[in-house]
Amino acid sequence: MAGAALKRLMAEYKQLTVNPPEGIIAGPLTEENFFEWEALISGPEGTPFEGGVFTTRLVFPPDYPLSPPKMRFVGEMFHPNVYPDGRVCISILHAPGDDPMGYESSAERWSPVQSVEKILLSVISMLAEPNDESGANVDASKMWRENRDQFNDIAHQIVRKSLGL
């Protein structure tokens, strides 16, 4: 199965280099291991994360694309849909099938038709529009709902850190 996964990842990498989506640079950390990628994501305009450049890591399972990769922010991130340890919590990265909690439909979850590009675009969308009802970071979710100015201040600090300022 790893052979099929490698072939798929190589094709996705080629597509991302030939036609990269705006605000995203992504590829394998090394040419020897196509199962661990780094992606740089620009903070979306008009959001508290605007101007930032955020480093993420994706780790792909041997049965990719049947199973989703794991994704995390490498540097600091304070966001309702990012666990304090940097792991990204969005529907597209959840295992295929029915949600045992009944929160997500199977159509929202991972399927083999998804791609690295779709994941990264979903993360940009997540940065712009957090889902505070399904918070991976309870403090960030609460602050997003109840004290947007304080949330924005923290986000702006993270943007500065992402730029090495």
109-125 pLDDT, tens digit each: 788 989 999 999 999 99
Among 32, 44, 10, smallest CA distance to 116 is for: 10
* pTM given for the model: 0.91
Quickly count: other Cβ atoms within 10 Å of residue 66's Cβ: 15
CA distances from 64 to 86, 95, 126 (A): 22, 11, 23
Question: Is residue 104 scored above 90 in pLDDT?
Answer: no
The domain tally of the chain equals 1
Residue 89 designated active-site? yes
* Predicted confidence band of residue 28 (pLDDT cuts 50, 70, 90): very high
Could you give the CA distance from residue 57 to residue 55 in angstroms, rounded to a whole number? 7
Alpha helices in 60-131, H assignment, sequence order: 116-128
Question: Is residue 101 scored above 70 in pLDDT?
Answer: no
CA atoms within 13 A on the CB side of 110: 18
The predicted model gives 1-27 an average pLDDT of: 91
Q: What is the pLDDT of residue 1?
A: 54
Q: One of 9, 88, 89, 126 is an active-site residue; which one?
A: 89
* Predicted confidence band of residue 103 (pLDDT cuts 50, 70, 90): low
Comparison of pLDDT for 10 and 108, the residue scoring more: 10
Range of the domain at 98: 4-163
Q: What is the pLDDT of residue 99?
A: 63
Q: What is the pLDDT of residue 58?
A: 98
Which tens digit of pLDDT belongs to each residue from 36-57?
999 999 999 999 999 999 999 9
The predicted model gives 141-150 an average pLDDT of: 95
Torsion sign over Cα 95, 98, 103, 107: positive
Q: What is the pLDDT of residue 17?
A: 93
Q: What is the pLDDT of residue 123?
A: 96
* Range from 2-6, 10-14, 126-130 carrying the lowest mean pLDDT: 2-6
Q: Identify the CATH number of the domain in which residue 131 sits.
A: 3.10.110.10
